[in-house]
Structure 1
Amino acid sequence: MQTAVQLYTLRSLDAPLPEMVRRVAEAGFDGVEFAGIGGDESAVADALSDTGLAAPSAHVGIDALESDSRGVAETYDALGVDSLVVPYLDPDHFADEDAAEDTADRLGALAGTVPGLGYHNHEHEFVELDGEYALERVVTEADVELELDVGWAHAAGADPASLVDRHADRIEVLHLKDVVEDADAPRGGRPVDLGAGDVPLDAVLDAARDASVEWVVFEHDDPDDPLESLESADSWLAERGL
């Protein structure tokens, strides 16, 4: 497995995107996952080339994909991005059987024009529908990749390692996030540095290895010091051979 950083983690830095790419390289990671590129494709491409980092995936809003899937795909293809991931759909899209069916239809239609389309979860997709989670229903019926965020899955009460096992055939990129369980937090958990929370990350990594997951992407939604979080995450991963 290779390691990457979701650049949303660094959004509070007063630095242009190419500089963020270089910071990730300096911290020892193998790649980056984009959360937008701000129209600076040439400079970003140069930063990737200079550092040798890969860009396996990018988060792109569903409205942008539906309005111009070809243009968006061409932009990210030029940066070597293999998978475009819808990062969020609101809770109404997973609220019940009908909503899940409609969401699966919408993503499935988009997957026909966006090869490698994926979906990234938060906590609200874990509504139980006849023995499975709404998230599972949607990605299976839409036949899209699952970029499982293990932190939010755990905060929702799911077992992230079991989810990796069940959906090994559609997980190529895994979001490695740790959270402290907190019933008073808006999402049932508070993001922390890797190893400082309650997520069974070692079990997740074991499952990811068994599933031949290609990339683990570190993300911290709200770090006090993004660069310290990068260094901490790299050290934690290095201790586990990554």
Structure 2
Amino acid sequence: MTQFAYQLYSSRQFGPLSATLSMLAEIGYSAVEGYGALFTDGEALSDLEAGLDATGLAMPTGHFDLALIEADPSAVIAIAKRFAMTSVFAPFLAPEDRPNDADGWRGFGQKLAEIGKPITDSGLTFGWHNHAFEFHQQPTGEFPMALILEASDHVMLEFDMAWAHIAGQDPAAWLDRYGSRVAAAHIKDIAPTGQKMDEDGWADVGQGIMDWPGIYSKLKALGVPALVVEHDNPADDRRFASTSLAALRAFDAT
């Protein structure tokens, strides 16, 4: 059976971590994805480790702040190895740090490869997690996401397809072009315009406008190893986690 993971950021506003992990294991998840706030100090790491041990959940992937990866790659590697991760992803670039032209984005891709070299040298996969801004076309007609990926073969992609859709792009077309570079995928959905505004316009997987049956079939054919469910602001994380996992299992069965 395909392993489905849950991005723990989705439950950051709910109950203690131990309760979240127990809920996810009960629902049927086999893995989770960590994020920066869970890796801040020894106590946080111990709490996470205890929760994973108690539930049997794996954590094959994690999000780490780019500044930390650059400043202290050994710390990132140590955390990743502690939790038996296979992949480390940098998840965001602040607006004030974003390049303003194609050459800048190409340079950023090269910088990512340099920053990630200690990670890949340690045997881990290193990659970038996108938002919408990487799919805003430059005056040259080029896309930052393409420039990042084409700057180096050593930076993989955790493809958040809902953000690509929000930017006006067809996720399936990007999978056709760069599928071999996709090391993980974020599975999230978008509510119809004007709906779910209390959840920032996001929807449970299979309940929104994304063509998840079609996209999922491409992910499955590509053999993308990490499929991670995410919602940026669910009103009820149990509802979201349960509904989304049921949808993914249905897609996987077809």
TM-score, with structure 1 as normaliser: 0.90
The number of residues matched between the two structures is: 239
Structure 2 unaligned spans of 5+: 195-199
Matching residue of 1:206: 217
Counterpart-to-counterpart distance in 2, 1:171 and 1:112:
18
| 2:107 equivalent to 1:98 | no
Residues 28-107 of structure 1 mapped to structure 2, 5 A cutoff? 28-36=28-36, 37=38, 38-39=40-41, 40-91=44-95, 93-107=98-112
Moved over 4 A (4+): 129-132
Residues 128-147 of structure 1 mapped to structure 2, 5 A cutoff? 128-129=137-138, 130=140, 132-142=142-152, 143-147=154-158
- Indicate if the aligned counterparts of 1:120 and 1:148 stay in contact, CA closer than 8 A: yes
Post-superposition shift, 1:34?
0.4
Specify whether residues 46 and 14 from structure 1 end up closer, same or farther in structure 2 by C-alpha distance, changes over 3 A only: closer
Q: Aligned AA for 2:21?
A: V
Matching residue of 1:111: 116
3-state DSSP of counterpart to 1:107: helix
Residues 151-170 of structure 1 mapped to structure 2, 5 A cutoff? 151-170=162-181
Q: Aligned AA for 1:69?
A: P
Higher helix share: 2
Q: Aligned AA for 1:96?
A: D
- Indicate if the aligned counterparts of 2:136 and 2:167 stay in contact, CA closer than 8 A: no
Post-superposition shift, 1:224?
0.9
- Indicate if the aligned counterparts of 1:94 and 1:127 stay in contact, CA closer than 8 A: no
Matching residue of 1:122: 131
Post-superposition shift, 1:90?
3.0
- Indicate if the aligned counterparts of 1:94 and 1:124 stay in contact, CA closer than 8 A: no
Cα deviation code 1:133-152 (max 9, x no counterpart): 21121023133110000111
Counterpart-to-counterpart distance in 1, 2:100 and 2:203:
28
Q: Aligned AA for 1:121?
A: N
Cα deviation code 1:177-222 (max 9, x no counterpart): 1113649xxxxx8211112221111111011011111121000001
- Indicate if the aligned counterparts of 1:84 and 1:117 stay in contact, CA closer than 8 A: yes
Matching residue of 2:197: none
3-state DSSP of counterpart to 2:118: coil
Residue 235 of structure 2: which of 201, 224, 228 is its match?
224
Post-superposition shift, 1:122?
0.7
Larger mean Cα displacement after TM superposition, 204-213 or 32-41? 32-41
Structure 1 unaligned spans of 5+: 184-188
- Indicate if the aligned counterparts of 1:121 and 1:147 stay in contact, CA closer than 8 A: yes
Counterpart-to-counterpart distance in 2, 1:154 and 1:79:
32
Counterpart-to-counterpart distance in 1, 2:102 and 2:224:
30
Counterpart-to-counterpart distance in 2, 1:145 and 1:19:
32
Specify whether residues 200 and 135 from structure 1 end up closer, same or farther in structure 2 by C-alpha distance, changes over 3 A only: same
- Indicate if the aligned counterparts of 1:95 and 1:127 stay in contact, CA closer than 8 A: no
Post-superposition shift, 1:33?
0.3
